[in-house]
Amino acid sequence: MAGKNDKPRAVAFIDFEHWYISLDKLYSKKPDLKDWRDKLSKSYNVREILVFADFSNQALRAEIPKIREVTSSIIETQNASVRIKKDYTDFIMLDHIYQKALSSHDIQAFIIFSGDGHFSSVASFLRNQCGKTVGVYGIKNAVSGQLKNTASWCVELPEERKEEANKKYYDMILKNLKYLESNNRGKKRLYPTFWGTVDAVASYYNVRREAVTKALRELIELNYIFQTEEKIDAKKSIKVLNVDWKVVAREGVYPE
């Protein structure tokens, strides 16, 4: 019997055509199935991974050895009909998903790697009729909005690296501080404080306050931004943010 702390049992269905072709076309990258499996396995007990594609495409066929390093369940979906030109990958995947739902009641999560809206119905069936978790993976800018909304959760690849996510907030903060500096000349002095900057950036860019707070603290820890005590009047002083613009420019954090 499974212990209460065991990871949920899952099975994954991959539309490899969507993964390979969309990733190559939009981002000039190739799938890393092994890395994807390893990350998924941190949250789920992955019992089976099934990979579907029309491997008559030579680029996809060349990926088969890499796929076999992860799973032996490779399903060829090539349409053998000379008359009817139709992509059968979605239909074959759907058939396997429904069969698994009806035959393997111990599976708790169904992972679907596809961007096609055709999978919205089966995702709804799995969640609402079978009580399963439905996770969706897809390529960013190539995933149906309906499918994302129907799933329990959705991850779009390639995922934004931590450094890239941080840089986005760094840019927002530094732009705000640069603007304040530029508007301090010949006018009443503006004092950029820690929390004042957090609130201004979060409001202007409509982003989470927590994310801005974290990024600003990192900029201070990295010595790109430092705080000085400045007197407002004879009785009051505050901590003001200052940027070492030469350092941030030299290290490529923000252009000079």
* Residue 256 within any structural domain of the chain: no
> Are 148 and 133 within one domain?
yes
Residue 186 has what pLDDT?
57
Do 136 and 175 share a structural domain? no
**pLDDT confidence band for 79 (50 / 70 / 90):** confident
Domain assignment present for residue 29? The answer is: yes
| Other Cβ atoms within 10 Å of 4 Cβ, number | 5
pLDDT at 166: 78
Q: pTM of the full predicted structure?
A: 0.65
Sorted by sequence, the CB contacts under 8 Å of residue 55 that are 6+ apart come out as: 61, 64, 74, 76, 78
Q: Is the dihedral of CA 120, 121, 126, 129 positive or negative?
A: positive
Amino acid letter, residue 1: M
∠103-107-110 over CA atoms, to 5°?
A: 100
Mark whether 22 and 113 lie in a shared domain: yes
Residues 96 and 22 in one domain: yes
Q: What CA–CA distance (Å, rounded) separates 13 from 35?
A: 16
The dihedral built from the CA positions of residue 32, 38, 43 and 49, taken in this order, carries a sign that is positive
pLDDT at 3 over 90: no
**Using an 8 Å Cβ cutoff, are 50 and 13 in contact?**
yes
d(CA 15, CA 53): 6
**Which domain covers residue 206, as residue numbers?**
162-250
In angstroms, rounded to a whole number, what is the distance separating the alpha carbons of residues 151 and 154?
A: 7
Summary mean pLDDT of the chain: 89
Q: Are 49 and 36 in contact (CB under 8 A)?
A: no
Question: How many residues belong to the chain?
Answer: 256
Please check whether residues 25 and 139 belong to one and the same domain.
Answer: yes
* CATH number for 228: 1.10.10.10
Position 233 in a domain: yes
In a domain, 4, yes or no: no
CB 244 within 8 A of CB 228: no
Same domain, 148 and 176: no
206: Cβ contacts below 8 Å, ≥ 6 apart: none
Looking at the structure of the chain, the number of domains it has is 2
| pLDDT (0 to 100) of residue 137 | 96
Q: How confident is the model at residue 80 (pLDDT cuts 50, 70, 90)?
A: low
Quick one: 48 and 119 in the same domain?
yes
pLDDT at position 85 over 50: no
Q: Is residue 206 part of a domain?
A: yes
